[in-house]
Structure 1
Amino acid sequence: MMNPPTVPLSSSGPRGMRVAVISDAAPGRNGVGAYYQDLLEQLAPLMSEVQLFSPRVENGRWRTGLALPLPGDRTQKLCIPNPWALKRALCQLQPQVVVVATPGPYGLLGVRLARRAGIPVLAGFHTSFEQLTQLYWKGSWRGRLVHSLFERSHRYLFAGARSVLGNSREMLELAERMGAPATGLIGTPISAEFALTARRPHGGHLERILFAGRLAAEKNLEAVVEAARIHPSVQFSIAGDGPLRARVKSAAATLPNLRWLGWLDRAALRAEVDHHDLLLLPSHFESFGTIALEAMARERLVLVSSGCGILQWPSLRPGLSVIPPEESAAMALQRLLAETPEQRRALARRAAGLALTLNERCLTHWCELLRHTVSSRSPLPSGPQSGLESALEQA
């Protein structure tokens, strides 16, 4: 077993700082929820106090002011906070900066309260609702309505923020079109569960393949099922929950080399990543694809589609395998199966080093962003040539 290096951040931490993060995503329930859960886990020891204000899921029950069912997906909720409770909690914390992660009821109330209190706001932009509405309701009146509501919410959020932060160029360009006053590229942190626990070196085999994520249309789960049909000697696993659960369970019942694992907590997911040889992410689009970075950190092979935002980070590309637009996931897997065990081991080792290096730089970058936001009244640097973005891309 190999122990990954501990991230040396003590010299760059914003000591004495109080930070509030407000999000409509429950910790660990989707990509945004996992992002801030992982970020705060590693930043908290470096600050005076940091708190996450969001819905929570405990023993399968949603803990929030009011939880409404989300049409088409019973695994997600539209959560409305208690405004007086959130206001009291922020007054008690007295944050010096507020990070608003989402454009839902929590996020919109959070930016309103922060603006009234004169607290600077950083807005996270992690999900392209424009692409989601095109995929789910293309050309319909429902799609136009949902798209309009999300765009209005984002514009309100961006108008109240000092800067809008995203983890891909595409997201930042979209934010600029929606009126963001300034934009900044941010990396994606890796949870301590994935970054700081002992990992098993890759054995060079390609016998077990894992998909992990929300079971939804944008994830292109058909490609996983097709790959399982074409490669019957390889074991495929799907971890996650979502609106396509019944379809995945049906496919798993039909194919002997495909199994559905259900939704997994972080420790169980890390154990499954370690048990498999390759992480497959054939999504139609991903703002980033955090699970791909986590699998890299565990020294596993990672195969992603050309629609995944992680490919926009040049420092990570040498550790990734890509499904080009003209290929299927099954075809791309055939190329990896044709490689030697030593070639696959070398790629996995390279991936782990690149992922852990970027994780360290991401956390250092966040500390710099928070310090700058508190100490300066001017907007954060905008555009693709800012020094912070250049430092990240040179990882």
Structure 2
Amino acid sequence: MLTRARAPAESDIAIRDLRVAILSDAAPERNGVGAYYRDLADHLRANGAKVALVAPRFRYGRWHGGLRLPLPGDPTQRILVPSWSLIDKRLKRLRPNVIVVPTPGPYGMLGMHLAGRLGVHLVVGFHTHFEALTDLFKDWGWRSRVANAYLRSCHRMLFRNSQVVLANSTEMVEVARAIGAKRATLMATPIAKRFLDLPPTPTRPQIERVLFAGRLAPEKNLEAVVEAARRLPDLEFVVAGDGPLRDWLEEEAREVPNLKLVGWLKRNQILRLIDSVDALVLPSRVESFGTIALEAMARARPVIVSAACGILSWDILSRGIFTVGDDEHLADALLRLRQLDPAVRQRTTEGAREAAAIINQRNLRHWLALLAGDHASTVDGKH
């Protein structure tokens, strides 16, 4: 449960006076980190805080927000170098009393500098352990080593200058401490209001349509999804997303008739797509949390994840999730789910939706306490 907040000191910030600047290198619609802070900003505004989400934008196939540089190994992504003067002017209008930085790129490092210059608290979100991805990108060669060295040094600087570092699994909290975080604690993941506010559509009694949604990259273990489609030809597999494996997946989809690639979708399209399927799968090799799994739980859909997904470290959520066994293939886990009594499956998904709503509310209260100055606030998912 959320710990009881201490009595506020005179220096603490009342929630109604919160002015929060979020400087993120992740575009709001392009990945889980971008979605996290767009959803968080919406929840904070709904509770009376003033929030500026300063990040690149991806609209109609084009990037906006600064000088565009290629991201090695992924032609679908860009690193943007922001305009210092434009961001400086925006922050002068907001006059933030706290700056949040979730990424170690140019936007994030500028956010760190501005927090120091303005003399305001810096809160850092730690979402990706880049070193854990190194083995999956061996074809990058020396570029992979250089990128990881740069990102690790940036994380050290961010952690050293922050008042608190937030990570979304206990493993990531320990990694943050090992890198140099003075204070590191858990954060949960917010859910877009419409995912919880709209009643979920009824599910079919049988599993017929399965969804994978996320970045099309090696760490997602998309080979397991393709192989499951081959083994289970009576199921329809839908893959939504974009990334460096897109061309490979397009080739596989041409050969596997029950495998469909729909590409990158906006969030409102993702909600409708989740409601149209009977289960979501996330067989990742590396997954700090797994936001899409939480969103599917909020829509009362069965979710199957690998043991590598950080969402399992939250007890309240893990009880509503089906897991691929250590020596089990995704196809076998799907067969188990299909054979489960529909009534049992429905009770599990109803409990999962309730748990998602609870963790969302706890996380919002946790963020509000932290941003208002209570850096001892904690959130957990054990009850």
Fold similarity call, TM over 0.5: yes
Say whether 1:153 aligns with 2:143.
Answer: no
- Alignment check: 8 A CA contact 1:25 1:102 kept: yes
- Alignment check: 8 A CA contact 1:202 1:348 kept: no
What residue is the counterpart of 1:136 in the other structure? 137
What residue is the counterpart of 1:201 in the other structure? 202
Secondary structure, in 3 states, of the residue corresponding to 2:372? helix
Alignment of 1:231-310 (within 5 A): 231-310=232-311
Alignment of 1:300-339 (within 5 A): 300-339=301-340
- Alignment check: 8 A CA contact 2:317 2:381 kept: no
298-307 vs 331-340, greater mean Cα deviation: 331-340
Distance 2:286 2:268 in 1: 26
What residue is the counterpart of 1:394 in the other structure? 382
Distance 1:304 1:28 in 2: 23
- Alignment check: 8 A CA contact 1:98 1:121 kept: yes
Q: Deviations over 1:270-312 (max 9, x none)?
A: 1010000000000001110000000000000000000000001
Say whether 1:367 aligns with 2:357.
Answer: no
- Alignment check: 8 A CA contact 2:239 2:261 kept: yes
Q: Which amino acid aligns with 1:355?
A: A
Q: Which amino acid aligns with 2:266?
A: D
Aligned-pair CA distance for 1:140 = 4.3
196-205 vs 117-126, greater mean Cα deviation: 196-205
Distance 2:347 2:175 in 1: 37
What residue is the counterpart of 2:180 in the other structure? 179
- Alignment check: 8 A CA contact 1:134 1:143 kept: no
Aligned-pair CA distance for 1:57 = 1.3
Alignment of 1:89-128 (within 5 A): 89-128=90-129
Aligned-pair CA distance for 1:254 = 1.0
255-264 vs 56-65, greater mean Cα deviation: 56-65
Distance 1:214 1:330 in 2: 21
What residue is the counterpart of 1:377 in the other structure? none
**Which residues of structure 2 form unaligned runs of 5+?**
1-13
Distance 1:191 1:120 in 2: 26
- Alignment check: 8 A CA contact 1:54 1:106 kept: yes
305-314 vs 321-330, greater mean Cα deviation: 321-330
What residue is the counterpart of 2:11 in the other structure? none
What residue is the counterpart of 1:357 in the other structure? 358
Aligned-pair CA distance for 1:48 = 4.0
What residue is the counterpart of 1:225 in the other structure? 226
- Alignment check: 8 A CA contact 1:279 1:295 kept: yes
Tell me the TM-score normalised to structure 2 length. Answer: 0.94
Secondary structure, in 3 states, of the residue corresponding to 1:325? coil
Say whether 1:169 aligns with 2:189.
Answer: no
What residue is the counterpart of 1:34 in the other structure? 35
- Alignment check: 8 A CA contact 1:80 1:106 kept: yes
- Alignment check: 8 A CA contact 1:26 1:54 kept: yes
Q: Deviations over 1:119-163 (max 9, x none)?
A: 110000001111122321389433322221111010111111101
Distance 1:261 1:318 in 2: 30
**Alpha-carbon RMSD:** 1.5
**Which residues of structure 1 form unaligned runs of 5+?**
1-12, 374-379, 382-386
- Alignment check: 8 A CA contact 2:127 2:168 kept: yes
Secondary structure, in 3 states, of the residue corresponding to 1:269? helix
- Alignment check: 8 A CA contact 1:203 1:345 kept: no
- Alignment check: 8 A CA contact 1:210 1:276 kept: yes
Distance 2:247 2:378 in 1: 44
- Alignment check: 8 A CA contact 1:23 1:101 kept: yes
Q: Deviations over 1:170-218 (max 9, x none)?
A: 1111111111110110000001231212211333321110000010000
- Alignment check: 8 A CA contact 1:202 1:349 kept: no
- Alignment check: 8 A CA contact 1:204 1:344 kept: no
Secondary structure, in 3 states, of the residue corresponding to 1:358? helix
% identical equivalent positions: 47
Distance 1:247 1:59 in 2: 24
